[in-house]
A = this chain, B = another copy of it.
Amino acid sequence: MADLAAVLSQADSNLNSSLDRLSDLVRIKSISTDPAFAAECRKAAQWLVDSLTELGFSASVRDTEGHPMVVAHHDGPDGAPHVLFYGHYDVQPVDPLELWTSDPFDPGIKELSPGRKVITGRGTSDDKGQLLTFVEACRAYKETQGDLPCRVTILFEGEEESGSKSLKPFLDANAEELKADLAMVCDTGMWNAETPSISVSLRGLTGEEITIKAASRDLHSGHYGGNAANPIHILSKILGDIHDENGWVTIPHFYDGVHETPDNIKSMWEGLGAPENFLSAVGLSVPSGESDRTILERAWARPTAEVNGITGGYSGEGFKTVIAAQASAKVSFRLVGDQDPHAVRSNFREFVKARIPADCSVDFEEHGTSGAIHLPFDSPALAKAVAVLEEEWGNPAAIIGMGGSIPIVGDFQSKLGMESLLVGFALEDDCIHSPNEKYDLRSFHMGIRSWVRIMDALAR
Whether A313 contacts B308 in the complex (CB less than 8 A), given A298-B227, A403-B223, comes out as: yes
Contacts of A327 in B (CB 8 A): 310
At the interface with chain B, which of A73-81, A131-139, A253-261, A284-292? A284-292
Q: Are B298 and A232 in contact (CB under 8 A)?
A: no
Q: Could you tell me the distance in whole angstroms from the C-beta of A153 to the nearest C-beta in chain B?
A: 27
- Docked Cα-Cα span, A329 to B32, in Å, equals 29
Bound Cα distance from A240 to B304, whole angstroms: 20
Q: Which 7 A-B pairs have the closest CB atoms?
A: A222-B404, A33-B318, A240-B240, A216-B283, A309-B313, A236-B239, A226-B298
Task: Give which listed residue, B209, B288, B307, B320, contacts A92 with CB less than 8 A.
Answer: B320
Contact flag A320-B93 (CB < 8 Å), given A217-B431, A218-B434: yes
Q: Are A306 and B236 in contact (CB under 8 A)?
A: no
Asked if A318 contacts B288 (CB within 8 A), the reply is no
A interface residues (Cβ-Cβ under 8 A, vs B): 32-35, 92-93, 95-96, 99, 161-163, 189, 203, 205, 207, 209, 214-230, 232-233, 235-243, 278-279, 282-290, 295, 298-299, 302-304, 306-324, 327-330, 332, 334, 357-360, 367-368, 402-405, 428, 431-436
Q: Could you tell me if B434 and A217 are in contact, using CB atoms closer than 8 angstroms?
A: yes
Contact of A216 among B240, B242, B282, B368 (CB under 8 A): B282
Across the interface, A314 reaches (CB within 8 A) one of B93, B222, B324, namely: B93
Q: A217-B434, A240-B233 are in contact. Are A403 and B225 (CB under 8 A)?
A: yes
A89 → chain B, closest Cβ, in Å?
Answer: 17
Determine the chain B residues whose CB is within 8 A of the CB of A161 once the complex forms: 320
Contacts of A328 in B (CB 8 A): 315
Q: Which residues of B contact A308 (CB under 8 A)?
A: 221, 232, 313-314, 319-324
Give complex CA distance A239, B233 in Å.
7
**A435 touching B403 in the complex, CB below 8 Å, given contacts A227-B288, A236-B307:** no
Q: Do B95 and A226 touch (CB < 8 A)?
A: no
Q: Within the oligomer, what is the number of copies of this chain?
A: 2
* Given A236-B236, A320-B433, residue A306 in contact with residue B221 (CB < 8 A): yes
CB distance from A307 to the nearest CB of B (A): 4
Chain B residue with Cβ nearest A436: B217
15 A/B residue pairs, CB under 8 Å, sorted by A:
A33-B317, A34-B317, A99-B217, A207-B321, A221-B304, A223-B432, A227-B298, A233-B243, A279-B359, A286-B357, A309-B324, A310-B313, A310-B315, A313-B330, A315-B328
B433 lies within 8 A of A321 (CB): yes
Contact A334/B228 with A239-B240, A286-B358, A323-B306 known, Cβ cut-off 8 Å? no
**Residue numbers in B under 8 Å from A436 (CB-CB):** 217
Closest residue on chain B to residue A233 by CB atoms: B307
Q: Tell whether, in the assembled complex, residue A368 and residue B319 are in contact, meaning their CB atoms are under 8 Å apart.
A: yes
Closest to A214 in B: B284
A290 nearest CB neighbor, chain B only: B226
Given A240-B236, A403-B223; A435-B217 close (CB under 8 Å): yes
A301 and chain B: residue at smallest CB distance? B226
Q: Are A215 and B283 in contact (CB under 8 A)?
A: yes
Take A221-B334, A322-B433 as given contacts and tell me if A286 and B229 are in contact as well, using a CB distance cutoff of 8 Å: yes
B278 touches A404 (CB 8 A): no
Contact in complex: A207, B284 (CB < 8 Å): no
The CA-CA distance from A306 to B327 in the complex, in Å, is 13
> Is A403 within 8 A of B226, CB to CB?
yes
Residue from B222, B227, B332 in contact with A279 in the complex, judged by beta carbons closer than 8 Å: B227
Contact at B225–A232, with CB atoms within 8 Å? Answer: no
